[in-house]
Structure 1
Amino acid sequence: MVQGDPLMINWPAFRGGYVNLGNVVSMSGGTANTTSLLRVMNERAVFGEIFRLGKVSRPELAQATGLSKPTISMALADLERARLVRPVGLRTGNAGRAALLYEIRPQAGAVLAVDIGRAYVRLALADLVGDIVARRDEPSRAESYDEVLTQLSGIVDQLTAEAGMARADITLSVFGTPGIHDKETGILRLAPNLPGWEQPGAVERLADVTESPYVVENDVDLAAVGEGAYGLGQGVSHFVYVSIGTGIGMGVVIDGKLYRGSQGAAGEISYLPVGEGDPLVNPGRGMFESVASADGVVAAAGRLGMVAATAKEVFDAARSGDEIAGRVVAAEADHVAHALAGVTAVLDPELVVLGGGIGAQAGDLLIEPVARRLESLVALRPPRIESSTLGSDAVLLGAMAFGLTTARDLVFERAVATTPLG
């Protein structure tokens, strides 16, 4: 097991052959000589640029890395011998000789992304360039801890069979879950919607689901990663992703990097003192979540005499002009604005992305009143507020984005450890 901070990375199947980024070790156990070390560094640089740029020529790699053309050629030969990259044709149309193009070999690695939610589990298997080769979405069996593990294991078997691979062929699995993973006890804290995951060692049993190294990450943090990689957060250095649905949470991106805090609990805004919720009445839930989550919306409607089984019914009624539903939506907007006022005062984000079942699907009702109220609550210009364009795929895409970057390093390290230099 290799423990990162604040990530927890488990290695149930991969033992040995790991090349620590800060200390390259030869297979004989001694420190690599300077020539070998430089060669590995050059190969890593070239591999990273191909990963970033896609199909790319040797001159383009030389320009991107600053390495000489002979060095590029040597690195490409080693990477091709290790089956990490492959030639993919010629670029024509310019004067002079046509340039041979290289790309990452998709089959060099695989990433499993898993979103474990209260209502649904979503899994996707992708090759090393990010093309999804198999995917499943199913209603979650989250009422039972053992059943959801069995469900996940069965889906992984289906995905790998469809892709023509075994579980052991997966380079890295990334699990997104509510709550915070306590690395000392192996439990999920602050995840009341996933009963049973508070048992000691619960998270470690995910090793039964995958035979690959795996990472457990907060789902809303992964959604923020997904927004930064594929959604509205692209090119935005400072933004927050606020998920409002069954629960409430926030992912924080500062200077283009995910911020987790000292205990991995940054963004647990469900505990903000907003509204009139009572945590004693709603154990495991903070004040803001008690009043502004889906259950809070339904409860607010009930207090005003409206019978609704779901928050969606309330928002649909508001769109149809129902007066009581309109009052509920106005109260929801006020709660969200007060929470965002605290977030804005502390973090000063450029953008707030609203996600989750309420944030993404009721943006047409919430964004304008939230923005108007927020403007009266903060000292400076408030951030712009938008609904996520990724919808229910935000967590899955974030897991994929993180997994691809990490898997790239893993397959390179394995190749360096097992492939002799040419």
Structure 2
Amino acid sequence: MYATLGNVVSMGGGTANTTSLLRVMNERAVFAEIFRLGKVSRPELAQATGLSKPTISVALADLERARLVRPVGLRTGNAGRAALLYEIRPQAGWVLAVDIGRAYVRFALADLVGEIVARRDEPSRAESYDEVLAQLTEMAAALTTEAGLAPGDITLTVFGTPGIHDKETGALRVAPNLPGWELPGAVERLADVTGSPYILENDVDLAAVGEGAYGLGEGVPHFVYVSLGTGIGMGVVIDGKLYRGSRGAAGEISYMPVGEGDPRADPGRGMFESVASADGVIAAAARLGMIAATAKDVFDAARAGDETALKVVSAEADHVAHALAGIVAVLDPELVVLGGGIGTQAADLLIGPVTERLPALVALRPPRIEASTLGADAVLLGALAFGLATARDLVFERAVAVTPPG
């Protein structure tokens, strides 16, 4: 339940300060419940929050004055008086979600209730840091213009990138597919892309957030999202919350000691990534005499019955099974979601063999393994979900700071 006046004890600020604080708490509670419930009436808000109907009315009046909520008609059909419904005002805030990948850059602009109003995908100019930064700036300007907004209208921008943000140096570590981002201060220059507040998150962590909000992880308290593609990474959800670790490096499974070879051969890639990523699949095929331009070529050949390709797929399944065995032993997830180019495009070839091999490698019954239903949009949707939750707090705090009580 939410606080009411009878539950608040003054701590020396006086009755006026206590009443003002309580008023803000009540408004925040009502604001949060409207987000959760959608179109909602005063009686429904009173039941959800435990606040009195007069308190709800005052809070709604203040939120409407601040242009955070709006009335949207009446609920009819029940006996008695029709109830006035309220909803979040969509234009109260805007979130820009950005997925910066090795192959593509994806943008989505959404209003405060999550409705995407503009979307754009482009091949990445990832060979050069400056080129990527210019591309990001151009795409952000194009999307805001398309939506009829100015750059300053963006409440929050969320960037998803590979690697780990080193907050001491402003560099992006462990992101070999984005050359130039490892230089000091590289991340801070993202502030110039829109001029709005921004957050940078690991892309696979965001994919896990997206999976929990919109995909197979919805309602699953313990799951992992394993991305197999150009690179390899994992997002961990424990008790329904993203787990980052002490330095934001939780889920860097590319460095798991899985596969053959010297882990020191390529300092930018871990052992597991060197054998199981797209480049690893191509290299494995080449060692067996098969020339393939992409990992997809190998998987397509395997589907057609090519014996060499089938051997490569078997080795890939073995690497993935051993990596998942370590993950299961430590985290005991209920669900493993496979994403990334390989995880989704080759799911039909990998999930069966991996599922068959896991029981011999783990102590208890293995978790279920499924391919992501979000596909290439997993990171972008995660950035939106993360950004919307944060932006809602930002717009509330700004509105409360500038809007006097009625």
Coarse TM-score class (shorter-chain normalised): over 0.9
Alignment of 1:29-108 (within 5 A): 33-108=17-92
Shift in Å at residue 50 of structure 1? 0.5
Shift in Å at residue 208 of structure 1? 1.1
Q: Which residue of 2 aligns with 1:167?
A: 151
Q: Which residue of 2 aligns with 1:271?
A: 255
Structure 2 runs not aligned, ≥5 long: 1-13
8 Å Cα contact 2:141/2:194 also seen in 1 = no
Question: How far does the alpha carbon of each residue in 1:218-261 deviate from its partner, in whole angstroms, 9 at most, with x for none?
Answer: 00000000000000000000000000000000000000000000
Instruction: Give the TM-score taking structure 2 as reference length.
Output: 0.96
Residues 31 and 340 (structure 1), Cα distance of their counterparts in 2 relative to 1, 3 Å cut: farther
Residues 108 and 401 (structure 1), Cα distance of their counterparts in 2 relative to 1, 3 Å cut: same
8 Å Cα contact 1:249/1:268 also seen in 2 = yes
| 2:330 aligned to which of 337, 343, 346 | 346
Shift in Å at residue 121 of structure 1? 0.2
Letter in 2 for 1:338: H
Alignment of 1:213-232 (within 5 A): 213-232=197-216
8 Å Cα contact 2:258/2:322 also seen in 1 = yes
8 Å Cα contact 2:208/2:225 also seen in 1 = yes
Instruction: Indicate the structure with greater helix content.
Output: 2
Question: What fraction of aligned residue pairs are identical, expressed as a percent?
Answer: 86
Letter in 1 for 2:231: G
Shift in Å at residue 277 of structure 1? 3.4
Q: Which residue of 2 aligns with 1:387?
A: 371
Give me the whole-angstrom Cα distance separating, in 2, the residues matched to 1:115 and 1:370. 29
Q: Which residue of 2 aligns with 1:146?
A: 130
Shift in Å at residue 382 of structure 1? 0.5
Q: Which residue of 2 aligns with 1:253?
A: 237
1:197 is the counterpart of 2:194: no
Question: How far does the alpha carbon of each residue in 1:369-421 deviate from its partner, in whole angstroms, 9 at most, with x for none?
Answer: 00110111001010100000000000000000000000000000000100000
Give me the whole-angstrom Cα distance separating, in 2, the residues matched to 1:258 and 1:228. 9
Give me the whole-angstrom Cα distance separating, in 2, the residues matched to 1:220 and 1:31. 48
Letter in 1 for 2:373: T
Letter in 2 for 1:181: H
8 Å Cα contact 2:159/2:199 also seen in 1 = yes
SS in structure 2 at match of 1:33:
helix
Alignment of 1:393-412 (within 5 A): 393-412=377-396
Shift in Å at residue 180 of structure 1? 0.2
Letter in 2 for 1:340: L
Q: How many pairs are equivalent?
A: 394
Give me the whole-angstrom Cα distance separating, in 2, the residues matched to 1:402 and 1:101. 27
1:413 is the counterpart of 2:394: no
Question: How far does the alpha carbon of each residue in 1:235-290 deviate from its partner, in whole angstroms, 9 at most, with x for none?
Answer: 00000000000000000000000000001000000000000033333231000000
1:333 is the counterpart of 2:317: yes
8 Å Cα contact 1:271/1:286 also seen in 2 = yes
| 1:324 aligned to which of 308, 311, 334 | 308
Structure 1 ranges of 4+ moved more than 3 A: none
Letter in 1 for 2:80: G
Give me the whole-angstrom Cα distance separating, in 2, the residues matched to 1:418 and 1:121. 36
Q: Which residue of 2 aligns with 1:12?
A: none
CA RMSD of aligned residues (A): 1.2
Question: How far does the alpha carbon of each residue in 1:176-199 deviate from its partner, in whole angstroms, 9 at most, with x for none?
Answer: 000000000000000000000001
Shift in Å at residue 32 of structure 1? 7.3
Structure 1 runs not aligned, ≥5 long: 1-29
Instruction: Give the TM-score taking structure 1 as reference length.
Output: 0.92
Letter in 2 for 1:409: D
8 Å Cα contact 2:74/2:83 also seen in 1 = yes
8 Å Cα contact 2:282/2:293 also seen in 1 = yes
Give me the whole-angstrom Cα distance separating, in 1, the residues matched to 2:83 and 2:343. 48
